[in-house]
């Protein structure tokens, strides 16, 4: 989506505009539109988003704090690389934190949430039959962001989000380098979505959290196996 369309609503608050710019740039990094080593220009982004360089600078600083960008004196702001070995501890932490979403300030899903998740399950089914690695990654991001709403503990949500986006590029890069059996990955993910769907319908947030935990752990193990 063009940046001018993303920020086209002139009624947005400054905070909302910053959030949308942050979301869009982070999506580009995670979907490998900005490859590792890409230099991001404050001036070019400010022109694209129709804003001044100051809010862009703040957004880039936030992304640098989240570990997906790095500023180099005399060079500029570059997209960081995502290395499986370096991120092993991040994956292990994600595995342990996943179960806390059902224990720290849990939020029971309402009918609207379940209807939204049903739509995500339907998108997953489409990917099994005719999807791409990029489409899969987008659905995975949307599923993560939906399920993060099941806890009202904001420090936990922020930590999980930071760690998730640090690691997300690894799967897509492995897929594009033909290291993964995409059809198998799609089927596994769809089975997990359907299991979560049943757990949500039963109001069993512990089950939802444990399915997510298993998903993170097994995804990492498969990445390790294929990287070898």
pLDDT tens string 105-133? 999 999 999 999 999 999 999 999 998 99
Same domain flag for 34 and 96: no
CATH number of the domain where residue 17 is located: 1.10.10.10
Give me the number of domains the chain comprises.
2
Same domain flag for 41 and 146: no
Q: Which domain holds residue 200?
A: 88-227
Among 33, 57, 79, residue at a domain's last position: 79
User: What was the pLDDT predicted at 4?
Assistant: 53
CATH number of the domain where residue 121 is located: 1.20.120.530
Same domain flag for 74 and 178: no
Phi, psi of 222 (to 5 degrees): -65, -40
When pLDDT is cut at 50, 70 and 90, the band that residue 7 belongs to is: low
How is 40-107 classified by DSSP, letter by letter? EPHHHHHHHHTS-HHHHHHHHHHHHHTTSEEEETTTEEEEPP--TTTTHHHHHHHHHHHGGGGTSSB-
Query: What percentage of the chain has pLDDT greater than the value 70?
Result: 95
User: How does the average pLDDT of the chain come out, rounded?
Assistant: 92
Query: Could you report the per-residue pLDDT of 15-44, keeping only the tens digit for each?
Result: 899 999 999 999 999 999 999 999 999 999
User: What was the pLDDT predicted at 1?
Assistant: 52
User: What was the pLDDT predicted at 14?
Assistant: 85
pTM exceeds 0.85: yes
User: What was the pLDDT predicted at 197?
Assistant: 98
Same domain flag for 99 and 209: yes
Query: Could you report the per-residue pLDDT of 161-186, keeping only the tens digit for each?
Result: 999 999 999 999 898 887 888 999 99
Residue-wise over 105-117: b if at least 16 C-beta within 10 A, else e? ebeebeeebeeeb
User: What was the pLDDT predicted at 178?
Assistant: 79
Taking 90 as the threshold, does the pLDDT of residue 226 lie above it?
no
């Amino acid at each position: 989506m063009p940046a001018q369309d993303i920020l086209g609503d002139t009624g947005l608050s400054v905070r909302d505009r910053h959030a949308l710019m942050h979301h869009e740039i982070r999506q580009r990094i995670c979907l490998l539109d900005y490859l590792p080593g890409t230099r991001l220009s404050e001036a070019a982004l400010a022109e694209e988003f129709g804003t001044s360089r100051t809010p862009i600078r703040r957004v880039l600083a936030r992304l640098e704090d989240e570990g997906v960008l790095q500023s180099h004196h005399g060079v500029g702001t570059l997209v960081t690389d995502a290395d499986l070995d370096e991120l092993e501890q991040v994956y292990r932490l994600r595995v342990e934190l996943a179960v806390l979403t059902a224990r720290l300030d849990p939020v029971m899903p309402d009918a609207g949430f379940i209807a939204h998740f049903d739509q995500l399950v339907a998108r997953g089914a489409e990917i099994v039959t005719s999807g791409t690695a990029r489409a899969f990654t987008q659905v995975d991001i949307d599923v993560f962001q939906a399920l993060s709403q099941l806890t009202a503990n904001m420090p936990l949500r922020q930590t999980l989000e930071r760690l998730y986006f640090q690691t997300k590029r690894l799967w897509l890069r492995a897929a594009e380098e033909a290291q993964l059996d995409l059809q198998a990955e799609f089927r596994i993910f769809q089975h997990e979505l359907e299991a979560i769907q049943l757990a949500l319908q039963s109001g069993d947030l512990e089950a939802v959290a444990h399915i997510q935990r298993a998903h993170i752990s097994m995804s990492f193990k498969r990445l390790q196996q294929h990287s070898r």
